[in-house]
Amino acid sequence: MSIQEEIHKAMNELQKKNSSELNISKEDMTLLFLTSLLEEEAPNVRK
Amino acid sequence: MSGNKSTSIGIIQLTRIGDVIQTYQAAKQLKIENPNVELTLVARKEFAQGLHFLLDEVFSHMVFIEIKDFIKSPSSTLMEARNSVKDLVTDLNKLDFDVLVNLSFSKSSEYLASMIEARHKLGLTRNSQNQISIEDSWSQYVFSTVMNSESIPFNLVDLFKNILGAKSFSPEYKEKTREDKIVIHPFASSKKKHWGVNKWVDLCYKVLKENPEQELYVVGGKADQTQAEKLVNSPALGEFSKRIHNMTGKSSIEETFRLVSDAKLLVCHDSMVSHLAAVSQTPTIVLSMGTVRPSETTPYHENVLNLAPKRKCFPCKVQEKCELLPCHKDISHQLVSRLVKGILNQENFDSTFFKEQVSPFYLQNVAIFAPHFSEMGMDLIDITESAQTVQDVFKTFYKIVWSFYFKEQELNYAIPELGKESLATLSEYAKGCSYIYELYGFGMKYSNAVIEEAKKEQPNIKVIQDNINKMGEIDQLCTVTKKTFPLLTPIVDFFFVNKANAKGANILEITQSNLLSFYDGQNMIKVVFDLIDNITRDAVGREPIKEV
């Protein structure tokens, strides 16, 4: 599994957790940070 | 922040180069006022690395990040990436921040700010439910209004200074000998903000012809090279080819800064080069168009003229499509070249100048703003003294009310003279103020009902829930009102965000904070009502504001 697939899978699990109103942990924050940084650095993002 | 112990402040700025320069300007002021403060900057490598020569002056530590720091190769695992993020956070935590300030409005910065430890946090972070959390009022203001409203009366550097707690000041102009060089940066990050090559060719032709002693330097990044080639190789400029120097894609940011610092003038769009010129206080003409909001982004120094279209759709929103770009035609190259000549000859841009030296045809659809600095920072004054629009009047209102609300500073402005149509529109807004005033009054009533019930030994949950539901309806009605009266959006949005970030550990404390928000909101809208009333009272009869 590539890192992109790993991130996608982990994000899906996190969204499920978030929708059931469970607190997100610092560990989750690292994933959210990575995902948002990836989005913001994507070549097609408006600069 | 006085005494012997140095205070450690971390500043997160993950947005573009221009924002990093504006952050540097605000942080520099904080450092001047508090020399013992130790500042750390966390920024994106792409946007901050080239600015080392400036940032070194102010920041004791700089941490530049990019996704490659965390995902080092295609075979990296998520675990490795997460560990790299944790290593970054651990390293930052070693700096033992007293205060962490997030000055960027991006998701990645919110998460990073949440992970770093600090005794106090300002700006956007995320709470344990993954919701945006903003504790300080200035950041609530920026979050609620800057991205959505055209009535922002504050420059971004002033907003950053206010969040950081630095005083506003007038940057002292230092006279220096400048070389016979005019620098142009005819590029921008989007088509809407960019005049286009043909208009720049017209301007360059006129400037080079009218100012034979000047050399022209074109600056820009690697991505601008094709357009720069088109410009400098235009047949119209053939006779001046020896006086045009194309530096696009060939100079570092530092080299561009040195060039701009020595030049007599910079002409550009809203871009990072204009902010570099602010640092070197190089006289600058900015051509604002499309989505640019001059009051927020005008380079922060005194020697600037910012030309902006006088058009209802200006400034437009990023997501709005526009094929014809009519605002680009509002700024004529003849006007710009006349101003270039005026700056080079140190002419006075007063009413006589505009009456005698510039055709009214070129001034018909353009405002020429010049900065004026006061205790609340930069104000933009239209030096052509053209009639104010209702939008301009609201900008002044907001400068008055926000300055008092956030800093208890009382500002005085002359009562504007408005045409009949503008007076009628402004008068309509008194009705909008009355509606919001009434709604906030009900908000106070329902908040008090919740507080009273919550204080009882055996509170009735249904009474509390009913009143909370009613407060929710108030938010909905405020949203409807702001659609009809869009210039009231900043107040409605600010107090919405302010209430959403209410302090408190239980329903009683949160409702007490909400009561205060409704109270402040009602006072603010009353002041706006009174200002409108002062201007329009004689022209239009009106009902007094209703008490709930």
Q: Any CB–CB contact under 8 A between B131 and chain A?
A: no
CA distance B111 to chain A (A): 5
pLDDT for A45 beyond 60: no
Residues of A within 8 A of B70 (CB-CB) are 34, 37
Interface probe with A: pick from B73, B76, B85, B321, most Cβ of A within 10 Å? B85
Query: Which residue reads 């605000």 in tokens?
Result: B26
pLDDT of B493 reads 95
> Chain A contacts of B81, Cβ < 8 Å?
3, 34
Chain B residue numbers with beta carbons less than 8 Å from the beta carbon of A24 are 128-130
CATH of domain B8-164: 3.40.50.2000
* Residues ≥6 apart with Cβ < 8 Å to B414: none
Q: Which of A3, A29, A47 sits opposite B115 (nearest CB)?
A: A29
Residue/partner pairs of B258-264 with CB below 8 Å, 24 or more apart:
B259/B181, B259/B183, B259/B217, B259/B219, B260/B183, B260/B219, B262/B178, B262/B179, B262/B181, B263/B178, B263/B179, B263/B181, B263/B182, B263/B183, B263/B217, B264/B178, B264/B179, B264/B180, B264/B181, B264/B182, B264/B214, B264/B343, B264/B344
* B10 touches B97 (CB < 8 A): yes
Residue A47 lies in a domain: no
Do A46 and B129 make contact, defined as CB atoms within 8 angstroms? no
- Tokens 């053939």, residue? B238
pLDDT tens digits in sequence order for chain B, 548 residues long: 545 678 999 999 999 999 999 999 999 999 999 999 999 999 999 999 999 999 999 999 999 999 999 999 888 999 999 999 999 999 999 999 999 999 998 999 999 999 999 999 999 999 988 899 999 999 999 999 876 667 789 999 999 999 999 987 666 777 889 999 999 999 998 889 999 999 999 999 999 999 999 999 999 999 999 999 999 999 999 999 999 999 999 999 999 999 999 999 999 999 999 999 999 999 999 999 999 999 999 999 999 999 999 888 888 888 888 888 999 999 999 999 999 999 999 999 998 999 999 999 999 899 999 999 987 889 999 998 777 889 889 999 999 999 999 988 888 888 787 888 888 999 999 999 999 999 999 999 999 999 999 999 999 999 999 999 999 999 999 999 999 999 999 999 999 999 999 989 899 999 999 999 999 999 999 999 999 998 888 666 666 666 66
Do residue A29 and residue B77 have CB atoms under 8 angstroms apart?
A: no
Which of A26, A28, A34 has its CB closest to that of B70? A34
State whether A33 and B108 contact (CB < 8 Å): yes
**Chain A interface includes B318 (CB < 8 A):** yes
Q: Which residues of A touch B12 (CB under 8 A)?
A: none
- On whether any CB of chain A is under 8 Å from the CB of B12, the answer is no
Residue type for position B345: N
Phi-psi category of A21—alpha, beta or left, where left has phi over 0 and alpha has psi -120 to 50? left
Tell me the two tokens of residue B383: 């030096």
Q: Is B45 on the interface with A (CB under 8 A)?
A: no
B98's CB contacts (< 8 A; 6+ apart) are: B7, B8, B9, B118, B119, B120
Cβ contact A46–B14 (<8 Å):
no
B172–chain A nearest CA distance, Å? 32
Do B106 and A2 lie within an 8 Å CB cutoff? no
Neighbour-count burial for B62-71, b at 16+ CB within 10 Å, e otherwise? bbbbebebbb
Strand (E) or helix (H) holding B356: helix B351-356
For the domain covering B179-386, report its CATH number. 3.40.50.2000
Q: Which residues of A touch B112 (CB under 8 A)?
A: 33
Q: At what angle do helices B489-500 and B507-536 cross, to 10 degrees?
A: 170
Which residue spans within B270-365 are E strands per DSSP? 284-287, 304-309
In a domain, A36, yes or no: yes
**ipTM of predicted complex:** 0.87
pLDDT at A47: 40
Counted across chains A and B, CB pairs separated by less than 8 A come out at: 72
Answer whether B388's CB lies under 8 Å from B418's CB.
Answer: yes
Q: Given this model, what pLDDT does residue B541 score?
A: 61
Q: Tell me if B130 and A24 make a contact (CB, 8 A cut-off).
A: yes
- The residue whose two tokens read 């408006």 is A46
How far is the CA of B367 from the CAs of B152, B186, B364, B370, B433, in angstroms?
17, 20, 9, 10, 29
Q: Considering only alpha carbons, which residue of chain B is nearest residue A17? A: B129
Q: Is residue A12 part of a domain?
A: yes
What is the least distance, in Å, from the CA of B78 to any CA of chain A?
Answer: 6
* Domain-located, residue A46: no
Residue B181 φ/ψ, nearest 5 degrees = -130, 135
A interface residues, B as partner, C-beta within 8 Å: 2-3, 6-7, 10, 18, 21, 23-24, 26-34, 36-41, 46-47
Measured distance between the N- and C-terminal CA atoms of chain A, rounded to whole angstroms: 31
Residue B64 contacts A, CB cutoff 8 Å: no
Number of Cβ within 10 Å of residue B5's Cβ equals: 9
A32: domain range?
Answer: 3-41
B409 CB burial (10 A radius; 0-12, 13-18, 19+): middle
Distance CA B18, CA B406 (A): 26
Residue B399 token pair: 């400068």
What residues of A are in contact with residue B106 (Cβ under 8 Å)?
36, 40
The residue ranges of every structural domain in chain B are: 8-164, 179-386, 420-536
Q: Would you say the CATH fold of B179-386 matches that of B8-164?
A: yes
Cβ of residue B253 closer than 8 Å to a chain A Cβ = no
User: Number of structural domains, chain A?
Assistant: 1
Q: Which of B74, B86, B128 sits opposite A24 (nearest CB)?
A: B128
Asked if the peptide bond before residue B315 counts as cis, ω within 30 degrees of 0, the response is yes
